Amino acid sequence: MNLTMSPNLTIQVQAKRPRAVSKVPRVNTGEEAFLFWCKAMKFPVPCRNFRFMRDRKFEIDFAWPQWLIGVEIQGGIWLAGGGAHSRPAQILRDLVKHNLLIERGWRVWEFTPDQVISGEAVQSIAPAIDAAFEADVLTQDAAEDEARSGQ
């Protein structure tokens, strides 16, 4: 598009091309692989994109809030031109989020999509999930025993 302002001055303006809007939702391979592995390992289903604070928009990719266990999959670090997790402002935001989680007693593991796909991620968190689940079962059994003995 050419606009002529005067006989000696011509301004060229390039109109932005409209972006193609995909009707197919984006699939996060790392996150889908993590859910696959959780199911394969017979873990309880984790909460996705769990917001752990009411007054902040921070989310954990996967969480078992009853046990304060979380998993973050850092896929954006590999994007050409830098994904969200490789930009300074986002790195600082992630640091604040991580520190807030620790202050609240959370244990959070961070993995790359390759670590998730290979099964390394679920192998790393399996002892914590298993221990938390076993503690819940023991607590529930003790409560049932106490209820029976009190009758």
What average pLDDT does this structure show over 116-124?
96
What average pLDDT does this structure show over 118-129?
96
Residue 83 C-alpha from the chain's centroid: 14
Full residue range of the structural domain in which residue 130 is found = 27-149
Q: In whole angstroms, what is the distance from residue 102 CA to residue 46 CA?
A: 19
Q: Quote the number of domains for the chain.
A: 1
- 19 lies in some domain: no
- 3 lies in some domain: no
- 9 lies in some domain: no
- 131 lies in some domain: yes
- 15 lies in some domain: no
Q: In whole angstroms, what is the distance from residue 98 CA to residue 91 CA?
A: 10
Q: What pLDDT digit, counting tens, does each position of 37-74 carry? A: 999 999 999 999 999 998 888 999 999 999 999 999 98
- 115 lies in some domain: yes
- 74 lies in some domain: yes
CATH number reported for the structural domain that contains residue 72 in this entry: 3.40.960.10
Residue 126 has pLDDT above 60, yes or no: yes
62, β-bridge pairs: 48, 71
- 12 lies in some domain: no
